[in-house]
Amino acid sequence: MKRVLVTVAVAAMLVLAGCNGGGQGTPTATNGTESTTESEFSADVSTPTDLDVSVSRAGPGAGGAASADLYPPGVDESGVYNASALVTRHFETAGANAVMRAEFITGGGTTRLVHRNGSSGERFTMVNETRGTAETWWASNATVVRWNGSASPSLTYSQGDTNTYTTYQFTGLFRAVPFLILNTTDLAVDGTTSVDGQEVLRLSIEGVRNTSGGFVVDENISDLRGYVLVTPDGVVREMHYQSTDDRTGATESVTVTVSGVGSTTVDRPSWASGYPDLTVSTGKDSSVLALEHRAGGSIPVDTRLRVGSDFVAYGNVTLSESLEAGETLYVVASGRFGDYNVTGSVGTQPDTPENAVSFDRLPSISVFADGVELQYAPEVGRETGTTGGFGSGT
């Protein structure tokens, strides 16, 4: 079915893994030589210890007569008659506060992920066991911190509408893709079982449903089978489905478990804490970029900041004095067609130069210091030509 069951999800993960999240016009560093000074703020750059992505399923169980009070929205005695209603209810009930674990197994290897969504933040962790790579994110509103063991620097702190923020919005695709099975297969009621002591309805895959507006069966995929366990209020607590790739004989599968609905808490880890709170804004004519230091450790003298807008890197500005909390750095840039000059000063707004560039679209400032890339951009949704990514965060 355009191989949506497994391959699309894994391919999307590979895309995310290849996005190192550089800010607009501010390419991510490829080595550890971007910073020439130590920042005065403190950041924990050690490898996170909480990278558990294990997935343990209860299994389909057996027996149990299904009664009408167990049917969630979109399901009756005939099976799933409205998959969209079921999926919608699941995300309405469990989308804002729950733990989702998923495992994707293909002929190319195994990838596991865990998404924890709490009231004060969320964590997304992905481990490719075959490649030996791991990354984890912490996010709250438009603040996103990413640890990627394969990148240098390994930590990226993002505040505002940066590329890292937008990239994080793509993780929502990975949480949604497995549920496409509900729209592409015939699911029949197959009794009941229990998950964590709660009685749930068991649905079994009876075949593939071809629809004019959806996915079609890949002729190279066969022996599709699996089950879904769903609560009366529409929470999909567990699903597992697998198929055979007739070209390789490999079994491909997806497993998803959902727990902690309404009771999940997410603490901000040490590696996501201790960063300067800076905001980016533009003047009335967008020719001046202001970096306001609101709280946290100072950015020391001689630190280089990379300035960009609309995916164009204008260049670096070096601090002639430290940027302390309560102070503002003003930046202007001039030039055309790749030949730019960037200047900045703390506390005093510089004169607007001739041929001044406009920061009206996707402006950003990045700092490489203390083994961390700091990315700052205007607030999400601010009217500077930016689209605000795929949402406003948690």
Inside any domain, residue 371: yes
Does 319 map to a domain? Answer: yes
Q: What is the pLDDT of residue 172?
A: 78
Instruction: Report yes or no on 266 lying in a domain.
Output: no
Helix (H) or strand (E) segment spanning residue 202: strand 198-208
Q: What average pLDDT does this structure show over 304-324? A: 90
For the chain, how many structural domains are there in total?
Answer: 2
**Nearest-10 Cα torsion for 253, 111, 2, 219:** -40
Nearest Cα neighbor of 157 from 293, 330, 277 is 277
Residue 61 has φ and ψ, to the nearest 5°, of: 70, -170
Instruction: Flag whether 392 is in a domain.
Output: no
Q: Two tokens at 36? A: 């020439």
pLDDT band (50, 70, 90) for residue 42: low
Is 264 among the domain residues? Answer: no
Is the pLDDT score of 124 beyond 90?
A: yes
Once rounded to an integer, what is the mean pLDDT over residues 113-130? 93
pLDDT at 382: 52
DSSP code of residue 166: H
List the structure tokens of 125: 């962790």
Tell whether 132 and 277 lie within a shared domain. Answer: no
List, in sequence order, the alpha helices (H) in the chain: 7-17, 83-94, 163-169, 171-176, 181-184
3-state secondary structure of 1: coil
Together in a domain, 63 and 183 = yes
Q: HEC profile for 9-62?
A: HHHHHHHHHCCCCCECCECCCCCCCCCCCCCCCCCCCCCCCCCCCCCCCCCCCC
Q: Could you tell me the CATH number of the domain that includes residue 172? A: 2.50.20
SS3 222: strand
Strand-pair category, 364-369 with 372-376: antiparallel
Residues 255 and 296 in one domain: no
Question: Is the pTM here over 0.85, yes or no?
Answer: no
Residues 11, 106, single domain; the answer is: yes
Q: What phi and psi, each to the nearest 5 degrees, are found at residue 271?
A: -75, -10
pLDDT at 11 over 50: no
| pLDDT, average across residues 234-255 | 92
Rounded to an integer, the average pLDDT of 12-31 is 42
Task: Kindly give, in sequence order, each residue whose CB lies less than 8 Å from that of residue 78, ignoring residues fewer than 6 positions away.
Answer: 188, 189
Region 121-125 average pLDDT: 95
Residue 50 pLDDT grade (very low, low, confident, very high; cuts 50, 70, 90)? confident
Instruction: Give tens-digit pLDDT for 280-294.
Output: 999 777 899 999 999
114 has a pLDDT exceeding 90:
yes
Query: Which of 204, 224, 259 is the last residue in one of the domains?
Result: 259
pLDDT for the residue numbered 284: 74
Tokens of 365: 């400032």
Are residues 153 and 302 both part of a single domain? no
Whether residue 391 lies inside any domain: the answer is no
Residue 49 has pLDDT above 90, yes or no: no
285 in the same domain as 232: no
What pLDDT is recorded for position 209?
A: 74
Q: Has residue 267 been placed in a domain?
A: no
Same domain, yes or no: 253 and 277: no
Q: Is the pLDDT at 380 greater than 90, yes or no?
A: no
Closest residue by Cα to residue 193 from 30, 103, 70: 70
DSSP 8-state class, residue 160: S
Last residue of a domain, one of 217, 234, 259: 259
Distance CA 24, CA 380 (A): 14
207 versus 99: the higher-pLDDT residue is 99
Residue 98 and residue 236 in contact, taking contact as beta carbons nearer than 8 Å? no
Greater confidence (44 vs 194) lies with: 194
Q: 386 in a domain, yes or no?
A: no
State yes or no: pLDDT of 39 exceeds 50: no
Query: What domain range includes position 289?
Result: 273-376
Pick from 259, 290, 314: which residue ends a domain?
Answer: 259
Same domain for 209 and 302, yes or no, is no
Question: Do both 331 and 239 map to the same domain?
Answer: no
If asked whether residues 327 and 288 sit together in one domain, one would say yes
pLDDT digits (tens, 9 = 90+) for 259-281: 999 999 999 999 999 899 999 99
- In this structure, the chain runs to a length of 394
**Do 17 and 116 fall within a single domain?**
yes
Residues 135, 51 share a domain: yes
Cα angle 128-131-137, degrees, rounded to a multiple of 5: 40
